[in-house]
Amino acid sequence: MAEQGNPPIDTSKIKAILQRRKKKMKRLLSHCVHCSLCAESCFLFMAHKGDPQYMPSYKVINSLGKLYKKKGKVDRETLEGMKGIVWRNCVLCRRCYCPVGIDVPSMITFARSICRSQGVYPQPEDIPKESWL
């Protein structure tokens, strides 16, 4: 498999992508009341014996939430860290429930698209190193 290489992160491109759905995404992020009632609806959370990093709210806050908080000014290391959250910790099964009605999968999908725009996505060699279950 070809190496990703380390091209510089185009923060202006990330910012432009974030801007496109800012109204919707920032609203959804701000309306999360951080209640954690979404947790048990995620089967990965249940399979990992209640590890908070698999909670839908945790995933969103630490991926898309972080991108908006930093206004897109992130480095490769940050995006690589997010890669695990949005790909390993979520399979987009859409099972997640939110009492307020926040659409978590759309936010994870959006975070994935931002990572992809910078060439950050799971590589086959990542899989043996990390436990996917």
* Residue 46 within binding range of other proteins, rule CB under 8 A: no
Q: Which is nearer to other proteins, 27 or 116 (CB)?
A: 27
E-only strand ranges, the chain: none
Residues 47-86: x/- map of binding to other proteins (CB under 8 A)? Answer: ---x-xx-x-xx--x-------------------------
Buried b (16+ CB within 10 A) or exposed e, 25-50: beebbeebeeeeebbebbebbeeeee
Q: Which is nearer to other proteins, 27 or 123 (CB)?
A: 27
- Residues making contact with other proteins (CB under 8 A): 23-24, 27, 30-37, 39-40, 50, 52-53, 55, 57-58, 61, 94, 97-103, 106
